[in-house]
Amino acid sequence: MRTEFHVHTCASKDSILTWPFILAAAKVRHIDCIAVTDHNEIKNAIRYRRILSRFGIKVIPGEEVFSKEGEIIGLFLEKRIEPGLSPEETVKRIREQGGVTYVPHPYDEKRAKTVLKPDALSRISQDVDLIEMHNGRNISASFGIKQKKIADEYGIVKVVGSDAHTFYELGRNVCVCGDLNKDNIKDELTKATFIKKPCIPFSHKHTKVVKALKMLLGGRSDELRGIIRKRRKRKMQDTQ
């Protein structure tokens, strides 16, 4: 089976990806299984599991939870886990559902705010099942090298995550292995073949535009202006 991990849908603040586009990409690119892991949300993962199963596409429901110290993914979940908890409590909530813990992009200089802090990873490492050795949105190949080094350091089972937010990112980074469930996923991934592709740089601009449009349409223009002002200030400081 060709499984794609770490996919975002329109339930995430920076994606407008809906199930018909996921289905089309899966069929064209021969994807058998997709892990839907929206930011701090699980509703589409549950809904799309039911819809896409009718077309022979398996969905692993998950959530990319923003803990107090960075993002942690839970797979095979049935209930939403609230953001803003400690990493330890986040992992505990994933375990309580019988889920699988997964650390995305353990190193990324351009997304430092969302990367799980090194100290936090050290504290919870014994309870982490999977860790990304490559993320489809790494803008530099060096990030993947460092991600693999971190995975090797902790001896955690490696996975390739697409981190797809757009239609054109789907199906580029996949794991080829057996049919996955919460009990065999670690064993299957240790035997998997990983297909890795470099980041499409435009995808980052795409998601910034989507996020801004969603804020405007959601009546959050003041918040958007605040973000723009902060970025301008930061650029001015960098040029001084």
Q: What is the pLDDT of residues 24-53, one digit of tens each?
A: 999 999 999 999 999 999 999 999 999 999
Q: CB burial class (10 A; 0-12, 13-18, 19+) of residue 125?
A: middle
Q: Where are the domains of the chain?
A: 2-199, 203-239
Confidence at residue 131, expressed as pLDDT on a 0 to 100 scale: 98
Phi, psi of 195 (to 5 degrees): -105, 115
Residue % of the chain over a pLDDT of 90: 88
- The yes-or-no verdict on residue 125 having pLDDT over 70 is yes
Q: Into which CATH architecture does domain 2-199 fall?
A: Alpha-Beta Barrel (3.20)
Measured in Å, how far apart are the chain's first and last C-alpha atoms?
52
Whole-structure pTM value: 0.92
Largest CA distance in the chain: 57
CA angle 40, 41, 45 (to 5 degrees): 135
Confidence at residue 218, expressed as pLDDT on a 0 to 100 scale: 82
Confidence at residue 208, expressed as pLDDT on a 0 to 100 scale: 92
Q: Report whether 167 contacts 185 (CB < 8 A).
A: no
- The yes-or-no verdict on residue 232 having pLDDT over 90 is no
93-116: average pLDDT: 96
Cα 160 to Cα 5: distance, rounded to the nearest angstrom: 7
For the stretch 142-171, pLDDT in tens is: 999 999 999 999 999 999 999 999 999 999
The residue with greater pLDDT, 225 or 14, is: 14
Task: Single out the residue of 186, 81, 79, 69 nearest to residue 124, CA to CA.
Answer: 69
177-183: average pLDDT: 97
